[in-house]
Amino acid sequence: MRKDQLIFSVQRVVDLEIAVCGVFNRAARPRRVHRFFVCVSRLGDGGVWYAMILALPFLFGDRGLATSVQMIQVGLINLAIYKTIKQLAGRVRPCEIDPRISLGTAPLDQYSFPSGHTMHAVAFSTIITAHHVELTWVVVPLSSLIALSRVVLGLHFPTDVAAGAVIGRYVASIWITF
């Protein structure tokens, strides 16, 4: 593939992502929908996961404690990966590229790629469901909504969310096998 073809292909992906972001962002303009996704996004800031880490030992004893320890370990690993990739990639947020995409809530950092909220949500859900399948009905929909909220609120491109999900799942899956 020639360089001009590659640039054209990359630009087509970016254009498609901007279009997808725009559709989801406009769908969240009604006040109730917007507030819902802001709340979901804030849950993904960490509070819901910290609460789970604290609650699991009380709910499941030693098995819950082991799960909480794994969540903390994977959370720290993912934090290091996330910060490194964000600085290297330096990808701006969709709302900075297209003025029609409104920023739904303040970002926690400067760059878009990858979605740290999604990375942590998928990683923690992977660990929790591996050890406590009975919590799948709670954590999988929650993680999915957190990931969706990032695109809806104009904070991330779909590929940022997909990359965060893949990295989170991969790191958690490796850690579970130890």
pLDDT tens digits, residue range 2-23? Answer: 655 555 566 788 888 888 888 8
Q: What is the CATH number of the domain that holds 85?
A: 1.10.606.20
Q: How does DSSP assign 56-103, residue by residue?
A: HHHHHHHHHHHHHHHHHHHHHHHHHHHHHHHHHH-PPPHHHH-TTS--
- 156 three-state secondary structure: coil
Its pTM stands at: 0.89
Q: How do residues 41-91 score in pLDDT, each as one tens digit?
A: 999 888 999 999 999 999 999 999 999 999 999 999 999 998 999 999 988
SS3 of residue 155 by DSSP: coil
State the sign of the Cα–Cα–Cα–Cα dihedral 158, 43, 111, 84.
negative
* Number of domains the chain is built from: 1
What is the domain range of residue 35? 3-177
